[in-house]
Amino acid sequence: MIYTQSPLAVGLFIFFVLFVLGLSFYLARRTSSAAGYYAAGGNIHWFTNGVAFAGDYLSAASFLGICGMIATAGYDGWMYSIGYLAGWVVALFLVAEPMKRLGKYTFTDALDSKFNSKSIQLAAAISTLLVSVFYLIPQMVGAGVLVQPLLGLPHWVGVCIVGVVVTIIVATAGMASTTYVQFFKGSLLLIMSTVVVISVLTRGLSTTPVNNGLPYHDFKTLHADAALNISEPGYLLTAGLDSEFGKAGFIKLSKDGEESIWQLVKTETGYQLEETLFETKRADGTKSFNGAAKEDGKFFPVGHIKELRINGEEVATTGPMGPFAYLSALKDSTIVLWGKKYVQDGDSTVAIFYQKPTPGARVLRPGLKFKVDNATGTEKFNFISLMLALFCGTAALPHILIRYYTVPSQAAARKSTIVAIAAIGFFYVLTLFLGMGAMTNGVINLTDNNMSAPLLALSFGVVLFAVISSLAFATVLGTVSGLIVAASGAVAHDLMDNFLGMHMTDAGKVRAGKIVAIIVGCIAIYLGIIFEGMNVSFLVGWAFAVAASANLPAILMLLFWKKTTAKGIASSVIVGLASSLGLILISPDMWVRYGYLPADAPVSFNSPALISIPLSFIALVVVSLLTQKDLVLEDSTEAAGA
Partner 1 sequence: MGHGPAVKLGKDNASAYKTRLGVKMFIVYTLVYAIFVATNATNPKSMQEVYLGQTAAVLWGFGLIGLALVMAIIYNNLCTKAEITMNS
Which of the stretches 4-12, 19-27, 73-81, 313-321 binds partner 1 when contact is defined by CB under 8 A?
73-81
362 touches partner 1 by CB under 8 A = yes
Based on CB atoms, which residue is closest to partner 1, 446 or 611? 611
Among residues 57, 59, 77, 97, the one that binds partner 1 under rule CB under 8 A? 97
**Residue window 467-496: x/- pattern of binding to partner 1, with contact defined by CB under 8 A:** --------------------------x---
Helix axes 7-28, 118-151, angle to 10 degrees: 150
CA distance 559 to 103: 13
Among residues 287, 309, 365, 511, the one that binds partner 1 under rule CB under 8 A? 365
Among residues 80, 105, 299, 544, the one that binds partner 1 under rule CB under 8 A? 105
Strands (E), 541-614: none
Residue 600 is classified by DSSP as: G
Which of the stretches 157-165, 373-381, 453-461, 598-606 binds partner 1 when contact is defined by CB under 8 A?
373-381
- Residue 173 CB, nearest approach to partner 1 (Å): 16
- Residue 494 CB, nearest approach to partner 1 (Å): 9
Based on CB atoms, which residue is closest to partner 1, 108 or 288? 108
Residue 493 is classified by DSSP as: I
622 touches partner 1 by CB under 8 A = no
Based on CB atoms, which residue is closest to partner 1, 466 or 556? 556
380 touches partner 1 by CB under 8 A = yes
CA distance 323 to 205: 12
422 touches partner 1 by CB under 8 A = yes
Among residues 75, 433, 465, 605, the one that binds partner 1 under rule CB under 8 A? 75
Among residues 38, 289, 542, 605, the one that binds partner 1 under rule CB under 8 A? 38
Which of the stretches 18-26, 189-197, 360-368, 619-627 binds partner 1 when contact is defined by CB under 8 A?
360-368
**Residue window 16-35: x/- pattern of binding to partner 1, with contact defined by CB under 8 A:** -------------------x
Instruction: Using alpha carbons, select from 52, 54, 51, 21 the residue that is nearest to residue 179.
Output: 52
Q: What is the DSSP string of 399-442?
A: HHHGGGGGSSSHHHHHHHHHHHHHHHHHHHHHHHHHHHHHHHTT
Among residues 375, 519, 585, 622, the one that binds partner 1 under rule CB under 8 A? 375
CA distance 591 to 397: 27
Among residues 102, 241, 519, 622, the one that binds partner 1 under rule CB under 8 A? 102
Instruction: Using alpha carbons, select from 36, 20, 141, 16 the residue that is nearest to residue 514.
Output: 36
Among residues 32, 116, 208, 231, the one that binds partner 1 under rule CB under 8 A? 116
Which of the stretches 91-99, 221-229, 262-270, 570-578 binds partner 1 when contact is defined by CB under 8 A?
91-99
Which of the stretches 203-211, 412-420, 465-473, 599-607 binds partner 1 when contact is defined by CB under 8 A?
412-420
Q: How many residues does the chain have?
A: 642
**Residues of this chain, 540-579, that bind partner 1 according to CB under 8 A:** 559-560
508 touches partner 1 by CB under 8 A = no
Based on CB atoms, which residue is closest to partner 1, 384 or 523? 384
Based on CB atoms, which residue is closest to partner 1, 420 or 446? 420
Based on CB atoms, which residue is closest to partner 1, 85 or 557? 85
Alpha carbon 181 to chain centroid distance?
20
204 touches partner 1 by CB under 8 A = no
- Residue 487 CB, nearest approach to partner 1 (Å): 17
Bridge partners, residue 264, by sequence: 273
**Residues of this chain, 290-329, that bind partner 1 according to CB under 8 A:** 324, 327-328
Which of the stretches 209-217, 293-301, 377-385, 523-531 binds partner 1 when contact is defined by CB under 8 A?
377-385
Among residues 411, 500, 522, 625, the one that binds partner 1 under rule CB under 8 A? 411
Q: What is the DSSP string of 148-199?
A: HHHH---HHHHHHHHHHHHHHHHHHHHHHHHHHHHHHHHHHHHHHHHHHHHH
Residue 200 · residue 433 · CB < 8 Å:
yes
Strands 250-255 and 287-289: unpaired
515 touches partner 1 by CB under 8 A = no
Based on CB atoms, which residue is closest to partner 1, 168 or 395? 395
Based on CB atoms, which residue is closest to partner 1, 248 or 557? 557
Give the contacts of 121 (CB within 8 A, at least 6 positions apart): 108, 112, 494, 495, 498, 499
CA distance 372 to 458: 34
**Residues of this chain, 430-469, that bind partner 1 according to CB under 8 A:** 432
SS3 state of residue 546: helix
Which of the stretches 3-11, 86-94, 225-233, 271-279 binds partner 1 when contact is defined by CB under 8 A?
86-94
Which of the stretches 40-48, 149-157, 439-447, 616-624 binds partner 1 when contact is defined by CB under 8 A?
40-48
Residue 81 · residue 387 · CB < 8 Å:
no
157 touches partner 1 by CB under 8 A = no
CA distance 351 to 280: 6
> What amino acid is encoded at 30 in this protein?
R
27 to 178, 255, 471, 542: CA distances (angstroms): 10, 64, 22, 34
53 touches partner 1 by CB under 8 A = no
Residue 31 · residue 485 · CB < 8 Å:
no
CA distance 474 to 180: 12
Strands (E), 296-375: 304-310, 313-315, 334-345, 348-359
- Residue 86 CB, nearest approach to partner 1 (Å): 5
Residue 125 · residue 499 · CB < 8 Å:
yes
Based on CB atoms, which residue is closest to partner 1, 11 or 359? 359
Q: Tell me the HSE value of 326 on the side-chain side, using a 13 A CA sphere.
A: 22
203 touches partner 1 by CB under 8 A = no
Round to the nearest angstrom and report the end-to-end CA distance of the chain: 70
- Sign of torsion, CA 518 523 526 528? negative
CA distance 214 to 208: 11
Based on CB atoms, which residue is closest to partner 1, 254 or 358? 358
Among residues 418, 462, 523, 618, the one that binds partner 1 under rule CB under 8 A? 418
- Residue 323 CB, nearest approach to partner 1 (Å): 10
Alpha carbon 227 to chain centroid distance?
47
Give the contacts of 562 (CB within 8 A, at least 6 positions apart): none
373 touches partner 1 by CB under 8 A = yes
- Residue 401 CB, nearest approach to partner 1 (Å): 13
SS3 state of residue 273: strand
37 touches partner 1 by CB under 8 A = no
81 touches partner 1 by CB under 8 A = yes
